[in-house]
Structure 1
């Protein structure tokens, strides 16, 4: 019944996996670039994330996309002057990223296979709510960032509202694949800001939310809505963070 929300496209053939199991992304590999698919909202978040990345002023600039998934950020930073390097555990996502012109590396965000201070920009989009060691992950994101470099991220807040919207509502109405998130891993912005400051990155956060018309079109019509994430005062559900690493020179 359409009024009960859009159906999940892939649930019938998925193996029963625990929440936040990385293998879920391989099960859903065909959804990364499917118009109106299970990852539609991730496209909106990628666009909002890309809007925070400035044009490079260096000919050899590098952007590290930590937890790059299927490469959704690629079209939003193309032409900004960066070598776009994606790191992820999922082979299917890395292959899709490679097809979109990214350099890809298999690896864990808690131990990035990259040298210190290599990146002009580090992007961590919708990955922090999936890691089991937040301090180690933040340390790695900051380690590979050069002095003066920019950290851009977005994630889900560890509030009751964040859990209700991202789990109860999103899974019920088809706005997120069932089991893709573990609410115990959602990230408090105060904790995240403190962790970043330990490594010389002074993070500022702001809330974001999906545009209501776009969300309604996507949930109840069998087409890609291509809506947008828009800024909001509340960080209670989704939020972005941006900060520069101290230049000690």
Structure 2
């Protein structure tokens, strides 16, 4: 007996919904992360705007670049200055000559513009960003790896940065432990993350500042700041800068 078209469409829809539910959570989260960059962030740059919108404030004397590529590099260079400013680091040459790892840089371009001896971005979606045309061409190295298991040798990194990424990962505590493992004696960890926010599919963790501080032991906390506003939709951001013991 032939199957009626309405019945066939119903079966197809049910099958698609079932396959979506059975997909690994990391794949679903990755889809939503990529969608934000493609639907929110990139159109702003294409339309002569920035997300975040403070780029030209961080590049005094510069005007909006006339080309998309020019605006991409303005975004990237501003990301470097933004992290220094937010972290209370006045030395504009802080990253020079160092090995720097950025956990979860997205497509902002911090690893590309960072004046480090070696600049590394740990970005699980790096391949997908590249396929979507969102990656800059530079000497930076991108590792399409989970931040809980970074394929680098212990004690070989001078600075680890995790800006607005700690609540995106699968296991925030494991990521902080991995950052500590990578750092040389005297190395610096820069964390900037939202606390007290409502979990979402792409930001599944409601972090607590005191809890994150406890994960830093035995590092020395050298700078702390609490904002009145979040990176996301609610809660507020906290900045912690800590150094590895000698």
TM range (shorter): 0.5 to 0.7
Report the TM-score, using the length of structure 2 for normalisation. Answer: 0.62
Distance 1:48 1:145, change over 3 A: same
Q: Is 1:203–1:243's contact at 8 Å kept on the other side of the alignment? A: yes
Q: Over the residues paired in the alignment, what is the CA RMSD in angstroms?
A: 3.6
Which structure has more relative contact order (CA 8 Å, sep 6+)? It is 1
Partner SS state of residue 122, structure 2: strand
Q: Aligned partners of 1:72, 1:43: CA distance in 2, in Å? A: 15
The answer for the alignment partner of 1:173 in structure 2 is: none
What's 1:9 paired with? none
Cα deviation, residue 56, structure 1: 4.3
Distance 2:147 2:119 in 1: 16
Check if 1:63 corresponds to 2:83. Answer: no
Where 2:34 maps in the other structure, the secondary structure is: helix
1:122 to 160, 168, 175: 160
Aligned-partner Cα distance in 2 for 1:204–1:85:
24
In the alignment, structure 1 residue 93 sits paired with structure 2 residue 110 = no
Give the secondary-structure state (helix, strand or coil) at the position aligned to 2:152. Answer: coil
Is 1:28 equivalent to 2:36 in the alignment? yes
Q: 1:41 aligns with which of 52, 69, 73?
A: 52
Which structure 1 segments of 5+ residues have no match?
A: 1-14, 168-177, 212-228, 230-235
Question: Quick one: which of 202, 205, 213 aligns to 1:193?
Answer: 213
Q: What is the TM-score normalised by the length of structure 1? A: 0.62
Aligned pairs for 1:58-207 (under 5 A) are 59=97, 61-74=98-111, 78=114, 80-90=115-125, 91-93=127-129, 96-157=134-195, 159=196, 162-163=197-198, 179-182=201-204, 185-198=205-218, 200-202=219-221, 204-207=223-226
| SS of aligned partner of 1:130 | coil
- CA displacement at 1:49 relative to structure 2: 1.6
Deviations 1:10-55 (A, max 9, x none): xxxxx99979812212233424444368982397794532434652
Question: Max radius of gyration: which structure?
Answer: 2
Provide the rounded CA distance (Å) in 1 between the counterparts of 2:106 and 2:226: 22
